[in-house]
Structures are given as structure tokens and as C-alpha cells.
Amino acid sequence: MESPNPLTAGMSVQGFVIAAVASLAIGGWWAGIPIGQLFDVTAPGLLFGMTVGRLGCFFGGCCVGRPTASRWGVWSSDRRVGVRRIPVQLLESGMAGVVATATLVSVAVVTPAVDGLLFAAGLAAYTLGRQVLFPLRSIPRATTHGRRVTMVVTAILVVGSITALVVT
């Protein structure tokens, strides 16, 4: 089996997030806009983009769920075999939409004590939800402790961010 190129394998959404955040930071700095505030107000758009992007995964046949006989399974293809599968992409899309909506409401209602806190909370919540859904995918992750470490770190970030938003 051929090893995937680490610069291109599985980086469609993650690569977009990295490039978008880097472009936003550089553009904001160049325009003289406070980066933390800029990240906060653009977080809902980034997360809504993830919502739409996961629908593309569903229709494109990537990131597929494991085959299932459950009534909640949806006919889906992994580009080779079409069977009833756990609709992981749709679950992740819905989760991203919920996080995006919560982030949008927070941007409209809350003034964070630290600029960038809403962005960090939204991205951490999305990442935590994504990690929860990973075991439902048909392709297992090739990491021993990475998923658990990511879940602990993002859970701490989510709880810490929400606490900071509520206390201030």
C-alpha cells in the first residue's frame, strides 16, 4: 500500500481552515484591524462553511461512515461500494451548523473580555465534536493517543472559553 503524501492527504477542509485563518490574520494585520476581533466576527462564517463543506463530503463519497443495518443508516458510497452507512458527514455538518449558530448568537450578544475568545471556543467545539464522530468513520485513524489528547485539549478549551464568557 502506498503511503499518502502528508502535504495533501486528507487536507481539504483542514487545509482550507489553515489557509483561511492565515489569510485573515495577514489581511487583518495589513488593514490595521485587531486580529482577535476579526477572528471573532468571522468564526460563524468559517463554521457555516464547514457545514456546507461536509455536505460536499457526503455527495463526493469521502469521509464515509461505517456500514450499518440500522434504520438511521443512509445509502452512501465510498467511491467503490454503495451500502447503507452511518451518515457521519451529515452528522458532522449538523454539528458544525449548531456550533456556527451558537457562535453567531454569541458574536451578536456577548462582548468577550479577550478578543479571539469566541473564535477559539467555536473552533474548539467543532474540533471536539469532530473527534467524537471519528470512530463512526469507516477508515480508522492511525494514531494511538492523538484523538484522546485532542479531545482533552479541546474540551478544556471549550469549558474554559464558556467559563470566561459567562464570568465576564
* pLDDT tens-digit series, residues 142-162: 777 788 898 999 999 999 998
Single-letter amino acid, residue 66: R
- Write down the H helix ranges in 61-116: 88-109
Torsions phi, psi for 85 (to 5 deg): -135, 160
Predicted TM-score (pTM) of this structure:
0.85
Tell me the pLDDT tens digit for each residue of 84-100.
Answer: 999 999 999 999 999 99
